[in-house]
């Protein structure tokens, strides 16, 4: 059974149109999937970094020592500066 030329043209055009629509929709899905993948990866990286940071005892100890060093440095600077200021104050009162 032979199909009429108009039916053939309509079927061909509808197939082409359907192919174009599918081709146009596909990259949007790919971009969305890629963005979701990136988001999940970022979340996983953050979670793993914080978990490993607190799970690693030597790293926590190193951070604590660093904080102690910074605090001691600030306190030493404060004590040194206040001592210098008190000496200057005593000298200025003598004259």
Q: What is the pLDDT of residues 20-77, one digit of tens each?
A: 888 877 766 677 778 888 888 887 777 766 666 666 778 788 889 999 999 999 888 8
pTM here is: 0.35
pLDDT surpassing 70 at residue 16: yes
Token match 């174009």: residue? 20
Model pLDDT, residue 33: 78
Model pLDDT, residue 12: 94
Q: What is the CA radius of gyration of the chain?
A: 37
Model pLDDT, residue 23: 80
Q: What are the extents of the domains in the chain?
A: 1-55, 60-95
């Amino acid at each position: 059974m032979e199909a009429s030329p108009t039916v053939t043209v309509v079927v061909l055009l509808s197939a082409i149109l359907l192919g174009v629509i599918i081709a146009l929709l596909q990259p949007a899905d790919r971009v969305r999937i890629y963005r979701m993948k990136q988001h999940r990866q970022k979340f996983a990286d953050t979670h793993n970094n914080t978990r490993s940071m607190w799970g690693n005892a030597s790293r926590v100890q190193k951070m604590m020592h660093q904080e102690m060093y910074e605090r001691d440095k600030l306190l030493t600077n404060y004590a040194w500066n206040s001592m210098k200021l008190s000496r200057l104050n005593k000298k200025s009162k003598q004259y």
